Amino acid sequence: MGNTTETTNQIKVKWRCPSNIAIVKYWGKKGIQIPCNSSLSLTLSNSYTEVEATLHEKTTLESVELNYYFEGELNEKFGKRVADYLADNIEVFPYLRMGAVTIHSSNSFPHSAGIASSASAFGAIALAMLDIAYQLEEKELDDDFYRRASEMARLGSGSACRSIFPSYALWGQNDAIEDASDDYAVEVTQIHPIFKDMRDAILIIEDEPKKVSSTIGHSLMNDHPFAAQRFTQANKRTAELVDILAEGDVDSFIHICESEALTLHAMMMTSTDYYLLVKPGTITAIEKIMQFRLENMVPVCFTLDAGPNVHILYPDKYQEAVEDFINDELKDIYKKVIFDHEGQGPQKLSI
Ligand code: DP6
């Protein structure tokens, strides 16, 4: 194999996996990482994690022996989460019974950027670890490999399963969409040209760690007073968005995208243990984006993940107009801006 280093008992692989931004949000889960509603996201390009995984001889009696390095330094906290994940899925990675793994992970975006990194990290980890399993079984990296990698990524972090596919990916069972599954994501392939190479400018409003983790946020949906309506709404919107993407209906895209962002945060604000993640800068940016759209007839909109940072989405052909607006009118609001765009999915790298 051209891009794999193999000695008698050592296999080394390297994968790059991008992050993604949800248009319809996954918020609420049950059982073993089963989403309470379907979601649909845009896969990014410049925001990614690279993982180099090496299988080698064990030096301890640990059931799973993992050395996890992040940006060159041993990271015991995240390493423990990854080791637990590997132990829970040992039947998929049976080589861990006999061998140890060293993972070197790094992100393209600054650590303090406030970008959710678990999607790209677990995407890359799942791809690398499954690639090793496939090599040992002498199997091809075919469509089934990516489907299984998506399933394994989901078990690490729900949103990670969507990062395995290019452009637009959908995750979660949906009565209106035949091949949708709770287990893995699928690519949404019917995309109108206006939504191709969609741009995402990520405004970093705040770069401190979140007060409330996504894990806690998801759990607050368990006894949320509006949970049932929310899950029904998200499923309906996911199905609508599939048609909107195929038809090129930009106005409906904007409507769903912005309402989803506000609904996600409304869920946080209305849960029994309520909390707030938006900051004054988030609100100012949102208002300016809406005003700019209205005054200039430019189809640009915002979305949010579980934090204060603002993602600005716009079709490729409006790149110049929107970037001028961001640089001129939003510059006092953000600490940093990362210009990203639709990506082609994960990549196996040579070592
Ligand atoms: C708001 O995938 O980070 O970004 O499954 O607990 O790892 P875990 O949660 P995570 O949740 C992401 C939530 C979101 C919306 C989304 O990406 O769909």
* pLDDT per residue as tens digits for the range 235-256: 999 999 999 999 999 999 999 9
Pick the CATH number of 5-189 from 2.60.40.10, 1.10.10.10, 3.30.230.10, 3.40.1480.10: 3.30.230.10
Cα 159 to ligand 1 centroid, rounded to whole Å: 5
Would you say the CB of residue 55 lies under 6 angstroms from ligand 1? Answer: no
Asked if 29 contacts 102 with a C-beta cutoff of 8 angstroms, the reply is no
Partners of 14 in beta bridges: 52
Lowest mean pLDDT of 61-65, 101-105, 218-222, name the range. 61-65
How far apart are alpha carbons 228 and 205 in whole angstroms?
A: 32
Q: Which two tokens stand for residue 131?
A: 């690639």
Measured from the Cα of 218, ligand 1's closest atom is 6
Would you say the CB of residue 306 lies under 6 angstroms from ligand 1? Answer: yes
Q: Which CATH superfamily is domain 195-341 in?
A: GHMP kinase, C-terminal domain (3.30.70.890)
Cα 178 to ligand 1 centroid, rounded to whole Å: 23
Would you say the CB of residue 154 lies under 6 angstroms from ligand 1? Answer: no
Domain(s) labelled CATH 3.30.70.890 in the chain stretch across 195-341
Would you say the CB of residue 305 lies under 6 angstroms from ligand 1? Answer: yes
Spell 138-173 as b/e; 16+ CB within 10 A means b.
eeeeeeebbbbbbbbbbbbbbbbbbbbbbbbbbbbe
> How many residues does the structure list for the chain?
351
Confidence check: pLDDT of 2 > 60: no
Domain(s) labelled CATH 3.30.230.10 in the chain stretch across 5-189
Measured from the Cα of 119, ligand 1's closest atom is 2
Cα 1 to ligand 1 centroid, rounded to whole Å: 35
Cα 246 to ligand 1 centroid, rounded to whole Å: 25
Lowest mean pLDDT of 12-16, 112-116, 183-187, name the range. 112-116
108 Cβ contact partners less than 8 Å away, ≥ 6 residues apart: 46, 47, 48, 49, 50
Asked if 23 contacts 41 with a C-beta cutoff of 8 angstroms, the reply is yes
Asked if 345 contacts 164 with a C-beta cutoff of 8 angstroms, the reply is yes
Q: What pLDDT score was predicted for residue 7?
A: 46
**Using one digit for the tens of pLDDT, what is the confidence trace for 183-211?**
999 999 999 999 999 999 999 998 887 78
User: Which of the listed residues 26, 230, 241 should we mutate to test ligand 1's pocket, taking the one with most ligand atoms within 8 A of CB?
Assistant: 26
Alpha-carbon Rg for the chain in angstroms: 20
Would you say the CB of residue 171 lies under 6 angstroms from ligand 1? Answer: no
